[in-house]
Structure 1
Amino acid sequence: MIDMRNIALTFLGCFTILAACSNSDDAEKPVTPVPTGDVTIYATTSSLTRDLTRDAVNFSSKDNLAPTSITLNPTEQYQTMDGFGAAITGATCFNLLQMKPEDRHAFLTETFSDDKGFGFSYIRISIGCSDFSLSEYTCCDTKGIEHFALQSEEKDYILPILKEILSINPSIKVIAAPWTCPKWMKVKSLTDLTPLDSWTNGQLNPAYYQDYATYFVKWVQAFNAEGIDIYAVTPQNEPLNRGNSASLYMSWEEQRDFVKTALGPKFKTAGLATKIYAYDHNYDYSDIATEKNYPGKMYEDAAASQYLAGAAYHNYGGNREELLNIHKAYPEKELLFTETSIGTWNSGRDLSKRLLEDMKEVALGTINNWCRGVIVWNLMLDNDRAPNREGGCQTCYGAVDISNSDYKTIIRNSHYYIIAHLSSVVKPGAVRIGASGYADSNIMYSAFENPDGTYAFVLMNNNEKTKKITLSDGKRHFAYDVPGKSVTSYRWAKSE
């Protein structure tokens, strides 16, 4: 029996994905006609009877009397969307570069192309190493900021993949974060300024705030020189996590002072438009009482707040309702969701368990709580969850897993599906809009108006059985039999 998530990395005609089999290179495959109609639909069931299957329906000419009708309200507007995507780590790039160039380009086209693929539109990368890099390093490991330089991981892995992605989708947004500062900038604690020669733990010596801000500037400029625009940064990945293989503890006071006295001013002086987002960690602030409301405390300092576009969150602890709490308290500040993982601890490869849970908690749940973007962790790991680093996550799966026996056979996991369902219909610059009508505790959705005037709608049906849902934009309507245990995405043009 063929696993429906094994895909041949080839586009045949318009957006046709075929199940991979052992003789996939030896025979011509028929081109499946793309369904046409007024409304474009993508559907995935947790059992994969539909696997990002493209469908279409036409508007109805009958009066809309359906009790299961949901009506969009474009006048009720919320946040503007920046995009959806995944992290391009050293491990991801290593695996991609093991593929045949034509297979890799087909997969990246399927993933990132707006007209030939699913249109992933946001990428997260590390500044220096992460726990999924091929080694532990920063871009200035010799003491003295004059020694800054991009390293082999950027030159040989990250930049080539980013450039290939940008050749497919030039409008991709890139956000970056460091896992650690250079070790020569670290101390054991701010009360004990003893130097700390360790990739893990430690704090940033305030004496090096200016040098470290210069490090950020040089890094952004180095990527700009390679044709990679850095849309945004965070000062530190998981600032309350002391235990990652590469990590740096940074309290809200430290981050506030670093941003307002060094990073913000240095960006401004250098003329960089790169946004700065605070925090970049869990909803529960690692249950440290003094760190509760971490970004909010930074916003309350006007000198720091002027440099902060908003805050970024992960979901390894706490509840996504914290997003709504922060938005209500600081509505002028933006929110991003920048990391989540699947792994052996949460049935990461079992789509029947993960698809709907991740759609609820990671995708629709964060968007409906004001996030402008949703980014999952590694785009690609191999079937042994590698490459990974000792001290980092060795139990994580990628958004996709590639077989290390052939570097061709790919299994798509829940994180790929949830991002594809968003990015395929919701485009950067879209505005989330209101929708109301039929209510069911097992149904969750978000509605949008795209910059080109099309409407987008993403719906999760956690019921066991099919539900006929009618969608209306106030002028026209259509009905669709939404499969049980599924995610469906819709896009259609406004009436003139």
Structure 2
Amino acid sequence: MIKRVIYSVMLGFLSFSCVASCSKDSGLKEEVIKDIPEGDVTVFVTSSNRAYDFERMALDFSSTSNMSPTTITLNPEVRYQQIHGFGAAVTGSSSYNLLQMTREDRARFLTETFCHDKGMGFSYTRISIGASDFSLSEYTLCDTPGIENFSLQHEELEYIIPVLKEILEINPGLKIMGSPWTPPRWMKVNNLNDLQPHNSWTGGRLNPVYYEDYAAYFVKWIQAFADHGIEITSVTPQNEPLHPGNSVSLYMTWQEQREFVKYMGRAFQEAGLSTKIYVFDHNYNYDNIADQVNYPIHIYSDEEARQFVAGAAYHDYGGHHDELLNIHSQAPDMELVFTESSIGTWNDGRNLSHRLMADVENIGLSVVNKWGRAVIVWNLMLDMNRGPNRPGGCTTCFGTVDISNDYSSITRNSHYYMLGHLSSVIKPGATRIGTSGFSDAGINYTAVENIDGTYGFVIKNDTAEARSITISDGEKHFTYRIPARSVASYRWEK
């Protein structure tokens, strides 16, 4: 039986009414949530036409025979990778927009986004180490030459850290990844032959003379955030190392990153840091640079570098997610994470009927089903003018959500729904498990076993008709008719 009772709408767009934080010490007022549907299976549904807008329902297990030709059966004996989490980047621009909201509206949005039991449960975010192309200014944390001059700057202290602290009150288990767009300019040279200074935010190479200082820069950054009560889970040595044309950038080949990772790893060890290092952090196609193909494998093949490398990170601005299978086949013990994708004017990013199915397929389900342990996309929140942004950066990007010019209403875009459908039923520490049975064109899905003993299942129906799908865990089963061009997520106890 389907019990269709939904949460009331927040700010005209959000499908939850709770404002209470998950944690007991948040100081936020608790509101009673009424009419939450109850049943054996919790269901979330979103359709491309927004007829179902992350609608929460409940199903009961079926008492009829499980003989449907559209039955999908979970096989928890077949186990794949552990899932770390899902989320969006808390950039300087996102933090600025969030802090323009009223405290009550911001708390409500962050709760609905990051809370596990009252919201979607986003659990992984990415922040820049210094400026990115979505910062409020160009800067690093050591613009005066000499690593002894390292210090957090205005953007961290007034925007990013306050926002992260509010999120951590809601979800204390939030994982945070840090990525630099550029080292301090005094560490950059124009090339590795004559080592002439490159006093520019854009491009340049990291001077090998400063490998030790730059490794110390990462250590100091991690420790500085720890001093504010914020634990950094992971870092990448360089955002998009093969794209020197970004407004804030650095070119770093695998040969350079392999050597620099050794300095990073030793510095982390000496400082007693457990922060993970993920290499590469760029496109599936290696920007079509022939000698950079298999970039992370080259690094991981080095015996010394390998001891410091947890895995590799990928973006989707070029190439295909099958590259995850290629890397996994060469290094099965490498963790694979997806760390950036954007929507914008170039891909009709605010048109849910155009983007939802593609993003659920190509960023969500395919990454998870091809050994991805995390999915993180770009800006959590931009304004309706696609900013604030930096000259030379992306002026055509949308956020996972976009906030109105008066900071009072929110438009949710495809990335937000995609992440919500994954994070609402696939919790950190879950293990992807096997499935068998029904398959068809336009139907794709993934299944996990969560650490609390529940099952999570996400399925998309990218066909023109509603489809009745039966899901069985071997002991219990249920059937739900998934609307056309829709995604549905389920969670139930074993």
> Is the TM value for this pair above 0.5?
yes
Partner of 1:493: 493
What corresponds to 2:24 in structure 1?
none
2:115 is matched with 113
Q: How is 1:284-299 mapped onto 2 (pairs within 5 angstroms)? A: 284-299=285-300
Match of 1:125 in 2: 127
In structure 2, the partner of 1:266 is: 267
Query: Quick check: 1:187 aligned with 2:206?
Result: no
1:220 to 219, 222, 247: 222
**Alignment correspondent of 2:27:** none
Which residue, out of 43, 54, 63, partners 2:45?
43
Q: Who is 1:355 aligned against?
A: 356
Structure 2 partner of 1:402: 403
Mapping of residues 471-482 of structure 1, within 5 Å = 471-482=471-482
1:18 equivalent in structure 2: none
State the Cα distance separating 1:255 from its structure 2 match.
Answer: 0.2
> How big is each residue's C-alpha offset from its partner over 1:263-305, in whole Å with a ceiling of 9 and x where there is no partner?
0100000000000000000000010011000000001101001
Q: Secondary structure at the match of 2:104?
A: helix
Q: Secondary structure at the match of 2:457?
A: strand
Partner of 1:26: none
From 224, 241, 246, the equivalent of 1:244 is 246
> Is it true that 1:415 corresponds to 2:420 in the alignment?
no
Superposed CA offset, 1:301-341 (max 9, x none): 01001100000000000011000000011001100000000
AA aligned opposite 1:148: F
Q: Which residue in 2 is equivalent to 1:55?
A: 57
Q: Give per-residue Cα distances to partners, 1:243-264, cap 9 Å, x unaligned.
A: 001000000000000011x101
> Segments of 4+ in structure 1 off by > 4 A?
8-11, 29-32
Task: Tell me what 2:319 maps to.
Answer: 318
SS of corresponding position for 1:140? coil
Q: TM-score, normalised by structure 2?
A: 0.95
Measured in 2, the distance between the counterparts of 1:60 and 1:319 equals 39
How big is the shift at 1:116? 1.3
Shift of 1:32: 6.3
**Partner Cα distance (2:81, 2:235) in 1:** 20
**Partner residue, 1:207:** 209
CA contact (8 A) 1:278 1:312 kept: yes
Query: Judging changes above 3 Å, is the alpha-carbon distance between structure 1 residues 485 and 5 closer, same or farther for their aligned structure 2 residues?
Result: farther
Paired with 1:366 and 1:11, the residues of 2 have a C-alpha distance of 28
1:31 Cα deviation after fit: 7.1
Aligned length: 476
Partners in 2 of 1:30 and 1:224 — Cα distance?
35
1:281 aligns with: 282
Q: Give the equivalent residue in structure 2 for 1:257.
A: 259
1:368 matched to 2:373? The reply is no
CA change 1:8–1:31 in 2 (3 A) is farther
Contact residue 10 and residue 107 of structure 1 kept, 8 A: no
Amino acid aligned to 1:93: S
Shift in CA distance, 30/234, structure 1 to aligned 2, threshold 3 Å: closer
> Post-superposition shift, 1:438?
0.6
SS in 1 for 2:161: helix
Aligned to 1:450: 450
Paired residues of 1:8 and 1:408 also in contact (CA < 8 A): no
* Cα separation, 2, equivalents of 1:330 and 1:388: 38
Would you say the 8 A contact 2:18–2:112 is kept in 1?
A: no
Distance 1:279 1:339, change over 3 A: same
Aligned to 1:21: none
Distance 1:5 1:170, change over 3 A: closer
C-alpha change, 1:477 and 1:155, in structure 2 (3 Å) is same
Contact 1:200–1:246 (8 Å) recurs in 2: yes
Structure-2 residue corresponding to 1:308: 309
Cα offset for 1:436?
1.1
Contact 2:74 2:436 in 1 (8 A): yes
- 2:107 and 2:32 mapped to 1: Cα distance? 21
The answer for the alignment partner of 1:33 in structure 2 is 35
Q: Is the 8 A contact 2:10 2:17 kept in 1?
A: no
Shift of 1:13: 5.5
The structure-2 alpha-carbon separation of the partners of 1:346 and 1:32, relative to structure 1 and needing over 3 Å to count, comes to farther
1:12 is the counterpart of 2:17? yes
Question: How far 1:12 moved relative to its partner?
Answer: 3.3
Task: Give the residue type in structure 2 aligned to 1:79.
Answer: Q
The alignment partner of 1:7 has SS state of coil
TM-score (norm 1): 0.94
Number of the residue aligned with 2:26? none
Distance 1:14 1:481 in 2: 31
SS at match of 2:395: coil
Q: What is the aligned partner in structure 2 of residue 134 from structure 1?
A: 136
Q: Is the 8 A contact 1:9 1:104 kept in 2?
A: no
Percent same amino acid among aligned pairs? 60
1:104 and 1:54 map into 2 onto residues whose CA distance is 22
Q: Report the residue type matching 2:17 in the other structure.
A: L
Deviations 1:354-408 (A, max 9, x none): 000000100001111100000010000001101000010000000000001x201
Q: Is the 8 A contact 2:11 2:408 kept in 1?
A: no
- Give distance in 1, aligned partners of 2:399 and 2:247: 18
CA contact (8 A) 1:5 1:412 kept: no
| Cα distance change on mapping 1:5 and 1:322 into 2, 3 Å | farther
> Structure 2: how far apart are the matches of 1:9 and 1:415?
14
Matches within 5 A, 1:429-440: 429-440=429-440
CA distance in 2, matches of 1:379, 1:458: 22
**Aligned residue identity for 2:75:** N
Quote how far apart the aligned CAs of 1:5 are: 9.7
- Of 152, 156, 159, 2:158 maps to 156
Corresponding residue of 1:459: 459
**1:30/1:476 Cα in 2 relative to 1: closer, same or farther (>3 Å)?**
closer
- 8 Å CA contact retained: 1:5, 1:411: no
**What do residues 413-455 of structure 1 show as CA deviations (whole Å, max 9, x unaligned)?**
0000000000001000000001110110110000000000000
The superposition leaves residues 20-48 of structure 1 with CA deviations (integer Å, 9 ceiling, x where unpaired) of: xxxxxxxxx99762221100000000000
Preserved CA contact (<8 Å) 1:279 1:294: yes
Q: In the alignment, is the contact (CA less than 8 A) between 2:445 and 2:460 conserved in 1?
A: yes
**Shift of the alpha carbon at 1:7?**
3.0
Alpha-carbon separation, structure 2, partners of 1:438 and 1:9: 33
Which secondary structure state, in structure 1, belongs to the residue aligned with residue 57 of structure 2?
Answer: strand
Contact 1:10 1:106 in 2 (8 A): no
Aligned partners of 1:223, 1:141: CA distance in 2, in Å?
18
